């Protein structure tokens, strides 16, 4: 009985071409997305001048925009990756009967990037520092949209008063 040993199979050239093409496509799409986001952010800043103010909370600044008068103060927290602009139609309506503030989490909108991690606890602590620096006293009603709802819940567990 004889054993036939076949030579190791060569990788198919068409498979290599497909893999390289897919890798090139991924690189092109990531680059296009990065460029698109930068152009969009620049455009948004040009067409949406910053209302409100930048508040230094310890080496970096957060943006907050407060409108209206009265109590309680309503603080609006946007969803993941969104800025205060999310509330542009809601905030003026609430300001008709009480004070309302929207803000940009660190690294979003007009706010500087934070040197801290982006955990719910760190975001809640930054919001607390921002509200203290602005001088917002209670009562405060926190309103969170999407991921902002999680941050609001963490905030209320850290600062129940």
Residue 42 has pLDDT above 90, yes or no: no
Ranges 19-33, 44-58, 107-121: which has the least confidence = 44-58
Burial 89-125 (b: 16+ CB within 10 A, else e): eebeebbeeebbbbbbbbebbbbbebeeeeebebbbb
Query: Mean of the pLDDT values across residues 149-153?
Result: 93
Phi, psi of 98 (to 5 degrees): -160, 175
Q: Is the pLDDT of residue 10 over 70?
A: no
| Burial (Cβ within 10 Å: 0-12, 13-18, ≥19) of residue 25 | exposed
Per the CATH hierarchy, to which homologous superfamily does domain 53-158 belong?
A: Alpha/Beta hydrolase fold, catalytic domain (3.40.50.1820)
Judging by beta carbons within 10 Å of its beta carbon (0-12, 13-18, 19+), is residue 57 exposed, middle or buried?
Answer: buried
pTM of the model: 0.72
In the chain, domain spans: 12-47, 53-158
pLDDT category of residue 70 using cuts at 50, 70 and 90: very high
Residue 138 reports pLDDT greater than 70: yes
Distance CA 132, CA 102 (A): 15
Q: What is the residue whose two structure tokens read 């991921």?
A: 147
């Amino acid at each position: 009985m004889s054993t036939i040993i076949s030579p190791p199979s060569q990788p198919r050239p068409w498979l290599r071409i497909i893999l390289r093409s897919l890798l090139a496509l991924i690189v092109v799409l990531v680059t296009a997305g990065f460029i698109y986001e930068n152009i969009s952010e620049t455009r948004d800043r040009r067409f949406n001048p910053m209302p409100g103010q930048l508040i230094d909370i310890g080496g970096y600044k957060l943006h907050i925009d407060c409108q209206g008068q009265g109590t309680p103060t309503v603080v609006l927290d946007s969803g993941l990756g969104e800025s205060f602009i999310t509330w542009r139609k809601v905030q003026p309506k609430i300001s008709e009967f009480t004070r309302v503030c929207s803000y940009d989490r660190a690294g979003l909108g007009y706010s500087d990037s934070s040197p801290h991690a982006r955990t719910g606890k760190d975001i809640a602590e930054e919001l607390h520092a921002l509200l203290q620096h602005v001088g917002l006293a209670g009562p405060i009603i926190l309103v969170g949209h999407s991921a902002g709802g999680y941050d609001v819940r963490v905030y209320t567990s850290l600062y129940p008063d």
